[in-house]
């Protein structure tokens, strides 16, 4: 199923939320950032068309560069197999077209506010030389807070694009400009015309031109003049009407020339100041506008017509005879004249009283400084300039700006506001916006000297500097318990509560010294050197060890690496000894039944002790201690008996530390 697809190995399609002429939009889950997004997928029938594919790709590239609170954000785009897609901000709300259908004509101030925000979006696009080309209510999303976002740059095109020569009219006919209908080159004023049509529809509840098909509507865009909005909705005031009709001038030169210019005028209108916009160059009268179907072709003449009275849409006008003082026609449906207190006069008096009361209430509210009541938007996360512009578009000009550090909002964005969004306020009320200065800089401190101190002193120094310590004990030549290394150098500036690791000496690094008694000089030297020790030599006579074997060693047990171990090499029996044997054999150790010294087994492994005892003429017998003895490595000799001397052939009982026997 389409809904189960994952595009680009990242975007899991959920459900379809909309479709258009070129693409379908899905709600999707970004599985990398774990957020809901909207994914726009080109329809299959267009995916193989090079022109449409280029247009789709151009949409993504153009829209991705547009940054504004009033433009739908584009996060990513790509191609998955034959599928082109764009990943966009997922919006909650409804499109402006649906809103107009549900609620009808909007309040004039709301119309101007929407127009101002669309102008802000268009201004960003036009600065990038991008013309939207499809401004219509369906592409304007109204968010829950009442603000809008412009969507779908699907047929937007960069000014210098090679696609500019495509004369197809791709916009919706109800909103296209006359020059777009003719297939002419478009500029920013084309979008302003379409925006004028959107504001017209917002103000009246209906489009200015309609017909049975797109061609007839497009022709009306070129040839007919719109009915003034006030003739459809009497609440549309002259200033807003002039703004809308100037946007919809047939000649682009007579329109507002930039979105920024139009936005400034709309904001002036919203603030209640006088709007300096001339009457439209051509307007159509009420008779032709209210249901007339004839086409009025433009000619070279210029007409200036006064704005019709608003009351003409809500009350039937008196006949021309009545206006001149004559009797009204009996066929016009009006009541005959009554010089007494008839229903008409009573109604007029009631209306007059209500008007006086309304005026008094309005005057009092203005005198007391209340101003117009508007809904305060939520501006948290907005850029400062955009937030202030939004408030001004509502008529709120008393805006106070403060700043503070904030960890949730980026620098320059609103992090707090007073009053809160969603509340009703008067346009004269003061609004305070708190702008984030970014994350609060971390407090720093200086790392103290730890090397040379005891662990206790090091911890005290770190605590005083508002730092945390982590001690590691290692063998070192430094005195036991002394700090000999720290991870961050003394004097460096770091954040408070930074963890500083330091090493405490456990004393010299000692290791087992091999037992080499009974070994030849060469073998003993190799054993000690390979274990990391230095070797020195001495010689002496021995009645116990054969000539050329080690009869004694200076260190047994453990010692620090590079310790010098002195081994004494036997020169054999001392000359003149009664038991001397001129041969190089074992001497007395080989005399069965004779009493000889039991060799010292200290520092020997089991294998070395076994060799030494056999060489001395004894029978070794080994047993393991129950567990290890502190300071003695597994398989090393712990004790032996008898000691001193024994008869050759006797059994020597040897106890070694527990462990696997040496081979």
- Report how far residue 184's alpha carbon sits from residue 114's, in angstroms, rounded to the nearest whole number: 28
At 223, list the tokens.
């040839």
509 is catalytic: no
Among residues 420, 414, 387, the alpha carbon closest in space to that of 402 is found at 414
Enumerate residues 6+ apart whose C-beta is below 8 A from 36.
27, 28, 29, 30, 90
Binding residues: 40
Among residues 203, 263, 265, the alpha carbon closest in space to that of 230 is found at 203
- Report how far residue 371's alpha carbon sits from residue 394's, in angstroms, rounded to the nearest whole number: 11
- Report how far residue 319's alpha carbon sits from residue 310's, in angstroms, rounded to the nearest whole number: 17
Binding residues for ATP: 40
Enumerate residues 6+ apart whose C-beta is below 8 A from 34.
none
Terminal Cα-to-Cα distance of the chain (whole angstroms) = 69
Separation of CA 286 from chain center = 55
Asked whether 612 and 604 are in contact (CB, 8 A), the reply is yes
Neighbouring C-beta atoms of residue 222, cutoff 10 Å: 16
The one-character DSSP state at 41 is E
* Cis peptide leading into residue 642 (ω within 30°): yes
Beta strands in 506-644 (DSSP E): 511-512, 534-540, 550-553, 558-559, 564-570, 595-597, 619-624, 637-641
Distance set, CA 496 to CA 445, 446, 462, 469, 623 (Å): 6, 9, 10, 12, 59
Residue 112 φ then ψ, to 5°? -65, -35
Enumerate residues 6+ apart whose C-beta is below 8 A from 321.
327, 328, 329
Active-site hit among 134, 152, 191, 429 = 134
- Report how far residue 195's alpha carbon sits from residue 189's, in angstroms, rounded to the nearest whole number: 10
The residues annotated as belonging to the active site are 134
């Amino acid at each position: 199923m389409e809904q189960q697809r994952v595009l680009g190995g990242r975007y899991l399609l959920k459900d379809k939320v909309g479709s258009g002429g070129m693409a379908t939009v899905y709600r999707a889950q970004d599985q990398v950032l774990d957020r809901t997004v909207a994914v726009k997928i080109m329809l299959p029938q267009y995916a193989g068309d090079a022109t449409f594919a280029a247009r789709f790709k151009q949409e993504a590239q153009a829209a991705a560069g547009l940054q504004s609170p009033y433009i739908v954000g584009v996060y990513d785009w790509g191609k998955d197999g034959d599928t082109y897609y764009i990943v966009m901000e997922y919006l909650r709300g409804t499109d402006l077209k649906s809103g107009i259908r549900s609620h009808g004509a909007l309040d004039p101030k709301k119309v101007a506010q929407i127009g101002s925000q669309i102008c802000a979006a268009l201004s960003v696009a036009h600065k990038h030389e991008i013309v939207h080309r499809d401004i219509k209510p369906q592409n304007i999303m109204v968010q829950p807070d009442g603000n809008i976002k412009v969507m779908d740059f699907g047929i937007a095109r960069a000014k210098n694009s090679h696609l500019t020569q495509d004369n197809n009219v791709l916009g919706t006919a109800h909103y296209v400009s006359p020059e777009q209908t003719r297939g002419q080159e478009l500029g920013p004023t084309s979008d302003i015309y379409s925006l004028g049509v959107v504001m017209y529809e917002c103000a009246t509840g209906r489009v200015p031109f309609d017909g049975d098909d797109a061609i007839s509507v497009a022709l009306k865009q070129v040839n007919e003049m719109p009915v003034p909005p006030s003739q459809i909705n009497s609440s549309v005031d002259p200033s807003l009407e002039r703004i809308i009709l100037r946007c919809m001038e047939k000649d682009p030169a007579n329109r507002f020339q930039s979105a920024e210019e139009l936005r400034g005028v709309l904001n002036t209108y919203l603030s209640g100041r006088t709007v300096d916009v001339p009457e439209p160059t051509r307007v159509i009268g009420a008779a032709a506008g209210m249901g007339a179907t004839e086409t009025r072709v433009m000619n070279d003449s210029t007409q200036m017509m006064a704005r019709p009275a608003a009351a003409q849409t809500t009350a039937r006008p008196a006949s021309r005879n009545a206006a001149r003082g004559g009797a009204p026609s009996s066929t016009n449906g009006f009541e005959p004249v009554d010089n007494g207190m008839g229903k008409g006069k009573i109604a007029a008096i009631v209306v007059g009283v209500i008007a006086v009361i309304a005026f008094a209430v309005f005057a009092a509210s203005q005198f007391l400084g209340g101003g117009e009541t508007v809904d305060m938007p939520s501006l948290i996360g907005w850029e400062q300039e955009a937030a202030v512009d939004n408030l001004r578009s509502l008529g709120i000009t008393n805006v106070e700006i403060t700043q503070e550090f904030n960890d949730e909002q980026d620098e320059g964005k609103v992090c707090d506001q007073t009053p809160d969004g969603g509340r009703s306020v008067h346009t004269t009320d003061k609004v305070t916006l708190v702008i984030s200065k970014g994350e609060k800089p971390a407090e720093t401190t200086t790392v103290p000297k730890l090397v040379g101190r005891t662990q206790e002193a090091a911890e005290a120094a770190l605590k005083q500097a508002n730092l945390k310590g982590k001690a590691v004990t290692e063998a070192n030549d430094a005195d036991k318990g002394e700090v000999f290394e720290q991870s961050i150098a003394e004097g460096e500036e770091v954040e408070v509560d930074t963890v500083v690791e330091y090493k405490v000496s456990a004393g010299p690094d000692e290791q087992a010294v091999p037992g080499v008694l009974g070994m030849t000089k060469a073998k003993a030297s190799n054993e000690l050197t390979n274990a990391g020790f230095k070797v020195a030599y001495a010689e002496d006579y021995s009645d116990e060890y054969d000539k050329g074997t080690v009869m004694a060693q200076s260190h047994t047990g453990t010692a620090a690496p590079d310790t010098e171990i002195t081994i004494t090499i036997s020169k054999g029996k001392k000359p003149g000894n009664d038991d001397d044997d001129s041969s190089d054999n074992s001497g007395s150790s080989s005399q069965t039944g004779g009493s000889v010294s039991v060799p010292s087994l200290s520092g020997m492994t089991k294998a070395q002790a076994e060799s030494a005892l056999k060489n001395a003429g004894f029978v070794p017998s080994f047993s393991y201690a129950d567990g290890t003895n502190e300071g003695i490595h597994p398989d090393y000799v712990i004790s032996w008996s008898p000691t001193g001397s024994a008869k050759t052939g006797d059994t020597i009982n040897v106890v070694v530390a527990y462990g696997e026997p040496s081979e």
